[in-house]
């Protein structure tokens, strides 16, 4: 379990979503983005050479870093969930 999931597993948001299943709150988006970035940066794939010329690979990687740096939703109704 990720730290994000542990932080929100017992919460329900005002939106009605159980925070443990919310990709914005449980850390899944950041974790998947980190894994994706590691994969595309591996030199054996050289994916930056496969991109169309109009695609800016370096800007794409910067975008991934921004997603990884996003803060997790802290949840908003901690303790209101009847089951852990």
DSSP string, the chain: --HHHHHHTT-B-TTS-BGGG-TTTSSHHHHHHHHHHHHHH-TTT-GGGTS-TT--HHHHHHHHHHHHHPPPP--SSTT--S--
User: What pTM value is reported for the model?
Assistant: 0.66
For residue 84, the model assigns a pLDDT of 47
For residue 28, the model assigns a pLDDT of 87
Asked if residue 81 is part of any domain, the answer here is no
Domain encompassing residue 39: 3-69
User: b/e map of 18-55 (b: 16 or more CB within 10 Å)?
Assistant: bbbebebbbbbbbbebeeebeeeeeeeeeeeeeeeeee
Asked if residue 76 is part of any domain, the answer here is no
Asked if residue 15 is part of any domain, the answer here is yes
For residue 44, the model assigns a pLDDT of 67
Asked if residue 59 is part of any domain, the answer here is yes
Asked if residue 36 is part of any domain, the answer here is yes
Q: How many independent structural domains does the chain possess?
A: 1
For residue 64, the model assigns a pLDDT of 93
pLDDT, averaged in runs of 10, over the chain (84 residues): 68 77 83 90 77 90 91 62 47
Asked if residue 49 is part of any domain, the answer here is yes
């Amino acid at each position: 379990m990720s730290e994000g999931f542990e932080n929100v597993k017992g919460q329900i948001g005002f939106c009605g979503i159980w925070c443990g299943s919310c990709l914005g709150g449980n850390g899944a988006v950041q974790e998947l983005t980190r894994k994706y970035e590691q994969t595309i940066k591996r030199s054996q794939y050289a994916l930056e050479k496969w991109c169309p010329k109009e695609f800016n690979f370096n800007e794409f990687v910067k975008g991934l870093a921004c997603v990884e740096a996003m803060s997790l939703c802290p949840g908003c109704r901690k303790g209101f969930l009847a089951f852990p």
